[in-house]
Amino acid sequence: MSDQAPLLSMRGISKAFPGVQALTDVDFDLYAGEIRAIVGENGAGKSTLIKVLTGVERPDSGEMTFAGERYQVHSPQHAQRLGISTVYQEVNLCPNLTVAENVLIGRAPMRWGITIDWNRMNRQAREIMAGLDLDIDVTRPLGSYSVAVQQMVAIARALDISSAKVLILDEPTSSLTLRETQQLFEVMHKLRAEGIAIVFITHFLDQVYEVSDRVTILRNGEVVGTYDPSSLPRLELVSLMLGRSLADLDDMAKHKMETLDRISEEAFLQARGLGMSGSVQPFDLDLHKGEVVGLAGLLGSGRTEVARLLFGLDRPDSGTLDVAGSAVDDFSPAASIKRGIALAPEDRAAEGIVADLSVRDNIILAVQANRGWLRHISAREAEEIADRFIKLLHIATPSADQAVKNLSGGNQQKVILARWLATDPQLLILDEPTRGIDVGTKADIQKLVLDLAEEGKSCVFISSELDEVLRTSHRIVVLRDRAKATEITGDVDEKELMTSIAGTNA
């Protein structure tokens, strides 16, 4: 399985972006004929690693060698020519063209050098797809096929272009059924037998155990290590992935215990059998006033989907939702805000900040929306509100007029929090609020959550960082594979929590 010398080698690779160190001194070796899984939570550096590998980003320091020679790559096409191909989660092909075209466009066989020989192209494409054990009609448009098939086509193209030596698959199974995943794995095995090295990025731990030869774990931009899955218990894998952070646990825990008594018996929100097909299976959930409920689980376990349902972004197929005693039948963000529910979304850039607007405008946006277009918030009042929260949350900005896109990620997150706090919500849902944020700010946010609870508000705290969840939550709901797995209350051990998250075959 492993040859003497690695096919691909990275030494001391570091990469920083404004405000965040994405990779720190990474060493990575890849051998021909192996399937290497790369795992890590969000912000661990997986995608940056791949970007550096394929020439999308240049590393700040470090060296790479490929097939024995120094490897410096300027663009993805260059990497492809050299033999490193990538297939992304969003299949970067043209759905309006046929399968055959997608596989061969740019290299289609020609007749007399002028016209495309469709017959030959279709035949060639069929052969290539057959090589992946896929027998499909190559003359149909790519878009008429499922994502699974589209991925196969992307793989076929990637392999065919140049005798590829390394194939990188970025989260390939996110949109696949069980059967399709099996088919993909068979293809991967076949390619491995041909000597191709496959890098397999995934957050599905089952699949790591099922198909990979070795697994590399990344955390906070560093390589934790490379292991053989057959000798790595699942629980240990999870604990290596999630790790511990540096903050002081004791103070927080004390604070949290104090607020435990203040939790009211009254349920602010009650969900019964609430679910949406294709998103999350029906679940029950009670949220009491003054309570912080943590949603824990791995990436893809359905945490964001739960948040979306609670906030009214998605319309449930089944079950009921009661807020402050009355049943909810109009599901929309605006209606939820009126009821006192607020959601700080996971995708800050696309769903959170309004990039070109000022900090002040971003902060008052939800309040203004709630008041309606006619009742304008005067400049003075807006300034007041903005200044209050800038001070409260220690938002670092030269002025409230600064366009929010110029702020660091952490400060942007604070602006979004300010926006929601300004609406004086009864329930604040935070989806990964501390991702990509410096440690000091993380602590600030966690403290803020507990303060809210003290005031009698409810909070749902979603995070991949277990220590955070443990520190701030009175109760933890564990999600697994898009369903609610268990609920853990009281003082709980990190190990117990990780066991829940990891699942039964720990």
Partner 1 sequence: MSAVARSLKSSLGDSRLLLPLAVLGLIFLFDLIFIPGFFDTEIRQGHLYGSLIDILRNSAPIILLAIGMTVVIATGGVDLSVGAVMAISASVAAILIDPRKVGLTLSGDITAVVGDPTYSFMPLPVVIVAAMLAALACGVWNGALVAYVRIQPMVATLILMIAGRGIAQLATNSIKINIFNDAFSFLGNGFVLMLPLSIFLVLGIFIGSWLLLRRTALGLFVESVGISSRASLFAGINEQRVKLFAYVFCALCAGIAGLVAVSSIKTSDANVIGLYTELDAILAVVIGGTVLGAGGRFSLLGSVLGALVIQATMTSMYHLGVPASAITVVKAIVVVLVIVLYSEQARDVIRRAVGRTGTRKQGASA
Partner 2 sequence: MTQTLGARLSNSRRFLPLGATIAMFFVVYAFGVMAFPAMRDSQPFFNLLNTAPFLLIAVVGQALVIISGGIDLSVGGVIALTTVVTAALLRAEWDPAVVIVLMLLMGITIGGVMGFFITYLKVQPFIATLAGMWFARGMCYVISDAEIRIYDPTWKTLAGVKVLIPGLADPVAKTGSYITSLVVIALVVLVVGLFLAHLTRFGRTLYAMGGDSGRNEQSARLMGLPVDRTKMQVYMFNGLCSALAGLVYSIYVGSGHGSHAMGMELLVIAAVVIGGVALTGGEGYVLGAFFGVLILSLIQSLILYNGQLSSWWTSIFIGMLMLLFIGVQSVLATINARSLARSTAGGMKRPRTAPWRDRRFLAGAGAVIAAIIGITLVGPLTSSPQTTTDGDSAILTGDCAPAESRAAEAEEMQAAGAAIVYQRFGGSDCVDQLYGLYPDGRVTGVDGTQTVEAQVEPSAVADLVTNLEGLGWFTDEMYTTWHHPCAECYTYEITVTSGDQTKTVGAVDGGTDAPAKYWLVKTRISALLPETNGAP
90 binds partner 1 (CB under 8 A): no
Residue 124 C-beta: closest distance to partner 2, Å: 13
Residue 75 C-beta: closest distance to partner 2, Å: 10
Which C-beta is closer to partner 2: that of 175 or that of 239? Answer: 175
419 binds partner 1 (CB under 8 A): yes
Three-class DSSP labels, 316-372 = CCEEEEEECCEECCCCCHHHHHHHCEEEECCCHHHHHCCCCCEHHHHHHHHHHHHHC
Q: How many CB atoms lie within 10 A of CB 399?
A: 10
92 binds partner 2 (CB under 8 A): yes
With 0-12 / 13-18 / 19 or more C-beta atoms within 10 angstroms meaning exposed / middle / buried, residue 476 is buried
Q: How many CB atoms lie within 10 A of CB 144?
A: 12
Which C-beta is closer to partner 2: that of 103 or that of 404? Answer: 103
Burial 26-48 (b: 16+ CB within 10 A, else e): bebbbbbbbbbbbbbbebbbbbb
- Among the residue ranges 92-100, 205-213, 291-299, 342-350, the one whose residues contact partner 2 (CB under 8 A): 92-100
Q: Which does 343 bind (CB under 5 to 8 A by kind): partner 2, partner 1, none?
A: partner 1
With 0-12 / 13-18 / 19 or more C-beta atoms within 10 angstroms meaning exposed / middle / buried, residue 85 is buried
* Residue indicated by tokens 């203040």: 262
Position among 33, 141, 319, 333 found at the interface with partner 2 (CB under 8 A): 141
357 binds partner 1 (CB under 8 A): yes
Position among 366, 393, 449, 450 found at the interface with partner 1 (CB under 8 A): 366
Position among 333, 388, 436, 483 found at the interface with partner 1 (CB under 8 A): 333
Rounded to 5°, angle at Cα 63 from 60 and 69:
145
Cα–Cα distance for residue pair 421/416, rounded to 1 Å:
9
Q: How many CB atoms lie within 10 A of CB 468?
A: 24
- Among the residue ranges 123-131, 258-266, 295-303, 331-339, the one whose residues contact partner 1 (CB under 8 A): 331-339
Going from the C-alpha of 358 to that of each of 30, 353, 386, 406, 410, the distances in angstroms are 46, 10, 10, 10, 16
Residue 278 C-beta: closest distance to partner 2, Å: 5
Q: Which does 278 bind (CB under 5 to 8 A by kind): partner 2, partner 1, none?
A: partner 2
Site for partner 2 in 458-497 (CB under 8 A): 482
- Among the residue ranges 31-39, 64-72, 177-185, 411-419, the one whose residues contact partner 2 (CB under 8 A): 177-185
Asked whether the beta carbons of 13 and 26 are under 8 A apart, the reply is yes
365 binds partner 1 (CB under 8 A): yes
373 binds partner 1 (CB under 8 A): yes
Among candidate residues 227, 241, 234, 249, the one with its CA nearest the CA of residue 499: 234
Position among 15, 126, 157, 414 found at the interface with partner 2 (CB under 8 A): 157
Which string of x and - marks every residue 247-286 that binds partner 2 (by CB under 8 A)?
A: ------------------------------xxx-------
Residue length of the chain? 506
Contacts with partner 2: how many residues (CB under 8 A)? 45
Residue 359 C-beta: closest distance to partner 1, Å: 14
Measure CA 58 to chain center.
23
Asked whether the beta carbons of 212 and 35 are under 8 A apart, the reply is yes
Rounded to 5 degrees, what are φ and ψ at 280? -150, 145
Which C-beta is closer to partner 2: that of 175 or that of 499? Answer: 175
Position among 201, 242, 323, 343 found at the interface with partner 1 (CB under 8 A): 343
107 binds partner 1 (CB under 8 A): no
Site for partner 1 in 265-284 (CB under 8 A): none
Position among 5, 61, 133, 177 found at the interface with partner 2 (CB under 8 A): 177
Asked whether the beta carbons of 182 and 114 are under 8 A apart, the reply is no
DSSP string, 442-456: HHHHHHHHHHHHHTT
Q: Which does 482 bind (CB under 5 to 8 A by kind): partner 1, partner 2, none?
A: partner 2
3-state secondary structure of 215: strand
Task: Please give the residue ranges that form the binding site for partner 1 (CB under 8 A).
Answer: 313, 333-334, 336-337, 343, 345, 350-357, 361, 365-366, 368-377, 419
Task: Please give the residue ranges that form the binding site for partner 2 (CB under 8 A).
Answer: 76-77, 80, 92-98, 101, 105-106, 108, 110, 114-116, 118-119, 122, 137, 139-141, 143-148, 157, 161, 174-178, 180, 277-279, 300, 314, 482
